Chains A and B, each alone.
Chain A
Amino acid sequence: MNMLLKNREALLVVAILALLALITLRFPGFIQPANLGRVYNDTSILIILALGQMAVILTRCIDLSMAANLALCGMVAGLINVALPGLPIPLVIASVVALGAALGAINGLLVWKLNIPPIVVTLGTLTIFRGSIFLLTGGQWINAHQMSDAFKALPRADLLGIPALSWFSIAIIAIVFVVMTRTAVGRAFYAVGGNPHAAVYTGIDVGRTRFLAYCLSGALAGFAGYLWVSRYAVAYVDIALGFELDIIAACVIGGISIAGGIGSVPGAVLGALFLGVIKNALPVINISPFAQMAISGTVIIIAVAVNARAERRKGRVILKKAEAH
């Protein structure tokens, strides 16, 4: 798996470089370091969400409710800020991360205890979370002037010339990387997705592991909720509408197997960056948003085809040996 994944990630790096080269032909300014920094910053939220989604997909589940969770948590962050403008921002963040994790826990419990298929559970909670925003606000927006300055300033705060938003995503990448490669629960994500039956016998609680993956994706969605609302300085029912598809696309492009058990943090990050480059580059070289969607879709299908071929090649090896004996 390691060699294959390294290849897959190297392939993705090559694809991103090729894409950048193509864009540069039309618009040389795109690869200025400052612009690339902006593209990374702009993709930070997608990266954070893709890492959460990756944990869930690794366990053979899916979380369609991440964008709705983000929207609800973002709105709650805004409401807290409006009601208590003096409350320190770290406390606001802590509360929406906790809320996001709790919403993720609902998904996890339904999958674990009631054995409902993950796609059905999160399709349901997606609608419930969106609906809850309307119930909370009656459809009212929270606009920039209602938010405190500290609330809006944090993602833009500058540290060593890099915005805090980028730093947050770098920190999340580091944390999730350590969890995935250096902790028992990270290993359990892979085991549960790789072979749930075998995982049971090795003493891993499959349901509980999935529950934890949902808690992680929920917490990251909650955090992303604050980042989104403070960055764009607006909160309403429909923010990040449809964004769950971008998140899943980033994972798929990054080589996270929808069948579970296969995937890596660098893969998810590169997958998100690939989408980020496309989204930022296509408008500057005058490609219409509709063509952008078609291009993203094409890339997803190509990525899945490439991954499927890699899997099949692996299958052939087994067959050869089985026949040889």
Chain B
Amino acid sequence: MLQDTTTLRMKPAIALEGISKSFPGVHALSDVSLSLYPGSVTALIGENGAGKSTLVKILTGIYQPDGGAIRVDGAEVHFPSASAAARAGVTAIHQETVLFDELSVAENIFLGHAPRTRFGLIDWTKLNADARQLLSRVGADIDPTIRLRDLGIASKHLVAIARALSIDARVVIMDEPTAALSYKEIHELYELIDRLKADGKAILFISHKFDEIFRIADRYTVFRDGRMVGDGVIAGTTQDDLVRMMVGRDVGQVFPKQEVSIGGPVLTVSGYRHPTEFEDINFELRRGEILGFYGLVGAGRSEFMQSLIGITRPSAGAVRLDDRVLVIRSPAEAIEAGIVYVPEERGRQGAIIGMPIFQNVTLPSLTRTSRSGFLRMAEEFRLAREYTSRLDLRAAALDQDVGTLSGGNQQKVVIAKWLATKPKVIILDEPTKGIDIGSKAAVHAFMSELAAQGLSVIMVSSEIPEIMGMSDRVIVMREGRMVGQYERADLTAEKLVRAAAGISETTP
């Protein structure tokens, strides 16, 4: 493995040596070592459950390791609490920022260490002045006196970073900081990270997105099943190397798209518009086709899909399914007609975890499992068994709660639920967001299989490799409008990004 000369000469700002952590029955981390260097970005890579979150919690004092040592500037330290870690200069910026909506920006930045007057009261003048100065250091044009709730997600991240600077953090942990950001905001974040590097901060950057890892990181550390399986410098490493380390095998086929002969039109949408969210949506979906919807976060894709299935009402537009004009006023009518939507946040919008598996599966199909108004339990079990076995669900019994299943199996329950309605069109919104590479491949293989069986699939995704790998055709949306439509043959990542970001082909 390559070693870069700079970091060899440098002392780590913080080093973990031989850290282990167990929970009852599980080794979450075994003998893990990690060094973070001043002025350098280290990417922490690993599948879900590889132990990344446990490591972050140990670094920030939320968990205490069972064995191993933490060294700051070579001296061994203990972080018995989150505040001890903060005093040592370790701070974390989470995917969903942990800030207080009802407090002002300045209060958020200085919460817990606000400047005091001689009498022990909060020195508001100094508080706001210091906050303004910190905000300008992170390049944010934010009034420190406004309430945090009035800011967008990207600005909240900046406030979180300003907070990190306020406690004079030497180690900044960023846990999937770009997950909720738009293209432009991500680039602003990159610039900020460059500035933090120049300030000599040691940065740990956790991400599932390889493009940003290669853009921003200097070094990498790969975790698998609670162990460190590789580290080194990014320069001279390829994406394939990292993937191989993560999964412990060659992922020959990340996108196992089968060739499917595409039939005639199934769903035709024309002139769909909404007063505030989107307008002029026209497209045809054909039998056996996977139609990708690409765009930045907030481009109106999910909003359009929700309106298509009757959660919100469009102001105009027509839908035809199999040459029949449809008027969909509620999700129940969409399911009845054969259009189902698997929402983006499966945890929040997907499964009902306090309910048994079979009841989750049959929930949208109750009219089929009941006779003269009464549910038939035997029929419910039959339906649930049929679809969960098709998805190879691993569960002891179908009447156990969904909450007792692992994340991947919960997702299978959600998909089984929708397939049990025997849909003609299935809309998958960010089907692999936040899940590990192994599960991603399973979802992709399954999507491909559905299309091969003659189902028409709409896939909303913000991940270029997924869109390019899986779609027969791609529609790009920007600011509520369709701005491009590409066949699989002439898809390029550059075209997609340009269309989504609104950069015209001619301008340099």
Chain A interface (Cβ < 8 Å from any Cβ of B): 1-4, 178, 181-184, 187, 190-191, 194-195, 197-205, 257, 261-262, 314, 317-325
Contacts and interface: CB of A to CB of B under 8 A. Distances in A.
B350 A198 contact: yes
Contacts of A321: 405-407
B348 to A, nearest CB: 5
Contact of A184 (B24, B366, B399): B366
B404 A203 contact: no
Contacts of A262: 354
Contacts of A205: 330, 332
Nearest to A184: B366
Interface string B17-50: 0000001111010000000000000000000110
B29 to A, nearest CB: 10
A195 B351 contact: yes
Interface string B333-346: 11110000101010
Nearest to A2: B399
A266 to B, nearest CB: 17
A181 B377 CA distance: 9
Contacts of A201: 309, 311, 331, 341, 343, 349-350
B352 interface: yes
B374 interface: yes
Contacts of B366: 184, 187
B356 interface: yes
A197 B25 contact: no
A183 B374 contact: yes
B108 interface: no
Contact of A323 (B54, B345, B349, B417): B54
A205 B23 CA distance: 41
A319 B24 CA distance: 10
Contacts of B417: 202
Contact of A322 (B49, B356, B399): B49
B23 A319 contact: yes
15 contacts: A1-B356, A182-B374, A182-B375, A183-B375, A195-B349, A195-B354, A197-B349, A198-B349, A199-B363, A200-B349, A201-B309, A203-B333, A204-B363, A319-B23, A321-B405
Given A198-B352, A203-B331, A318 B26 contact: no
A319 to B, nearest CB: 7
A314 B401 contact: yes
A320 B374 contact: no
Contact of A199 (B336, B352, B354): B352
B408 interface: yes
Nearest to A190: B355
Contacts of A325: 48-49, 406-408
B370 A203 contact: no
B364 interface: yes
A289 to B, nearest CB: 38
Given A183-B374, A205-B330, A314 B356 contact: no
Contacts of A319: 23
A188 B359 CA distance: 10
Interface residues of B, number: 48
A319 B54 CA distance: 12
A57 to B, nearest CB: 13
B24 A320 contact: yes
A318 B349 CA distance: 18
A196 to B, nearest CB: 9
A183 B406 CA distance: 29
A63 to B, nearest CB: 21
B239 interface: no
A320 B23 contact: yes
Nearest to A257: B354
Interface in B343-394: 343, 345, 348-356, 359, 363-364, 366-367, 370, 373-375
A323 B48 CA distance: 9
Contacts of B54: 323
Given A1-B401, A202-B331, A323 B351 contact: no
A5 B206 CA distance: 40
Interface in B384-439: 399-401, 403-408, 417
B404 A314 contact: yes
A3 B396 CA distance: 13
A325 B499 CA distance: 38
Contact of B355 (A1, A3, A182): A1
A178 B370 CA distance: 13
Closest 3 CB pairs of A and B: A203-B332, A325-B49, A194-B352
A184 B331 contact: no
Contacts of B364: 202-203
- Most A CB contacts (10 A, CB to CB) among B334, B352, B375 go to B352
B411 to A, nearest CB: 12
Given A4-B401, A201-B331, A325-B408, 9 more contacts: A182-B374, A183-B373, A187-B366, A190-B359, A195-B354, A199-B352, A203-B335, A314-B401, A319-B23
Contacts of A181: 375
A23 B295 CA distance: 70
